[in-house]
Amino acid sequence: MAEIGQSIKIGDTLLPNNVLLAPLAGYTDFAFRKLCYSFGAGLCFTEMVSAKGLMYNSEATKRLLHLAPEEEGRTAVQLFGGDPAVMRAACESEHLAPFRIVDINMGCPVPKVYKNGEGSALLADLPQAERIISACKKSGKTVTVKFRIGLDKNSIVAAEFAGMCEGAGADMITVHGRTRDMYYAGEPDYAQIAAAKEAVNIPVIANGGVFSRADAEKLLRETGADGVMVARAA
């Protein structure tokens, strides 16, 4: 069983520890990431970045990619989008040159993202999700995927989705143990995170309900995951 603080390898990148900071819209800018690194985060992510926004050369989108000098090659970028070609183009763009790791958001429950076939909408379209992951992987980046266990309790896809991610080339997955319709309320389903872990041979990061070290240790113990991701508690 993994322990809090042990190193973890994602693709060709060896992280100093397995406690990761989640991408948080409106919060995880370079100043906040710097603070979290100072407290020992093994890996931090940018805020959620629109692949379409990058292709439109949006200044607001590009601002989300600002890195402190010491972050280059260390911080991961999180992209969202529903078009494989646009996602690959974003990965290959000069905007993402400083980033080794690209995380694909397939869990955002927000309606304006969902209705565009992005974020958690991809939980209901595994073939399209697979095409997106495969396209991003062709960019040469290390690719990770963050997703929820399903849209609702009647459409749980955690293990199947995890297996699809690995088959498409993902180097790591992060599983948020809630469904889309739960948003951020209710208890995460550790059993479904464990099922996803059992389904793959790549590193699995468990996410949801981590507000203390004891929570993180329990999450690792009950899911068998390789690491934890801290979100709102940060």
End-to-end CA distance of the chain: 24
| pTM score above 0.85 | yes
Residues catalogued as catalytic? 108
For residue 225, what is the domain's CATH number? 3.20.20.70
Please report, as a single letter, which amino acid is at residue 233. A
Helices (H) and strands (E) in the chain, counts: 9, 10
- Asked whether residue 6 is domain-assigned, the answer is no
Phi, psi values for residue 145, rounded to 5°? -135, 135
Query: Taking residues 48-71, what's their average pLDDT?
Result: 94
Q: Residues 84-137: pLDDT tens digits?
A: 999 999 999 999 999 999 999 999 999 999 999 999 999 999 999 999 999 999
Please give the C-alpha separations between residue 224 and each of 107, 198, 212, 221, 229, in angstroms, as whole numbers.
21, 8, 18, 6, 14
- Asked whether residue 8 is domain-assigned, the answer is no
Q: Which 3 state secondary structure label does DSSP give 12?
A: coil
Q: Residues 150-166: pLDDT tens digits?
A: 999 999 999 999 999 99
Query: Taking residues 37-58, what's their average pLDDT?
Result: 96
Q: Which 3 state secondary structure label does DSSP give 204?
A: strand
Q: What is the residue range of 54's domain?
A: 18-230
DSSP state of 23: P
DSSP state of 2: -
- Asked whether residue 182 is domain-assigned, the answer is yes
How many distinct structural domains can be found in the chain?
1
The pLDDT-based confidence of 70 (bands split at 50, 70, 90) is confident
- Asked whether residue 10 is domain-assigned, the answer is no
**Which ranges of the chain does DSSP label H, i.e. alpha helix?**
30-38, 51-55, 59-63, 84-92, 111-114, 126-137, 158-168, 190-199, 213-223
- Asked whether residue 140 is domain-assigned, the answer is yes
Angle (CA) 88-82-111 rounded to 5° is 145
pLDDT (0 to 100) of residue 216: 97
- Asked whether residue 190 is domain-assigned, the answer is yes
- Asked whether residue 7 is domain-assigned, the answer is no
- Asked whether residue 193 is domain-assigned, the answer is yes
